[in-house]
Amino acid sequence: MKFNYPLQVAGDSTIADEATEIKQLVSGVEGWLSDAEGKLLYKLAKDIPQGQAIVEIGSWKGKSTIWLAKGAKAGSQNEVFAIDPHQGSKAHTDEGEESTYPTFLTNLEKAHVQDIVVSLVTTSSKASESWRRRIGLLWIDGSHEYEDVKYDLILWKKYLSCNGIVALHDCDKPGPARVIEECFASSDEFKIIESTDTIVAAVKC
């Protein structure tokens, strides 16, 4: 599935210098996020109004967390809540991966963003049980199975502010693509605003 929505990010000269610096910072951090996707997350996080949380579902070793946190710092200093049990996904544990938490913390410290990131070492489902804040940006990059992506969206969308943004990763995969189709493309609740590489972002109407 190919999404064509307006995207100002790649050509946005106002964030070009900041992004170059962050690109260098994250170049040593493992992960699947492209630089263009990182830049999009940075811009979205930077633009979130003050007092609204930024929530990440699926941090792994912190690549997207760093882009979000740098955007938050450049913007309204909103906290980034990074939710991940850090036990590795099934695919990763099959490869013998142990906890990603120590590497995650080290990567945040190296990027000097640990002060704006609140790490919740648990699943999105558990974290949602005690959640109370308004969310300005919800970034979903946990499990990419259709049921899991949809469950995460349903669990968390009620906390999105009016005009809050939700962004999904790996929308070229069947699970997220189906969620986009069902919940964004043909819905009055969300309107797709941007996409780049495999991220699709929508605003809550």
Distance CA 72, CA 137 (A): 10
Output the smallest distance, CB 107 to ligand SAM, in A: 10
Output the smallest distance, CB 148 to ligand SAM, in A: 7
Sign of CA dihedral 28, 119, 142, 40: negative
Output the smallest distance, CB 178 to ligand SAM, in A: 18
What are the structure tokens assigned to 189, written together?
A: 């609740």
Residue 23 or 191 having the CB closest to ligand SAM: 23
**Single-letter residue type at 42:** Y
Contact footprint for ligand SAM (CB under 6 A):
31-33, 57-61, 63-64, 83-85, 88-89, 100, 123-124, 141-143
Residue 14 or 98 having the CB closest to ligand SAM: 98
Q: For the stretch 138-164, what's the b/e string if a residue is b when 16 or more beta carbons lie within 10 angstroms of its beta carbon?
A: bbbbbbbebebbbbbbebbbebbbeeb
| Residues written for the chain | 205
Cα dist from 16 to 46, 75, 143, whole Å: 13, 15, 31
Output the smallest distance, CB 100 to ligand SAM, in A: 6
Residue 40 or 83 having the CB closest to ligand SAM: 83
Residue 7 or 167 having the CB closest to ligand SAM: 167
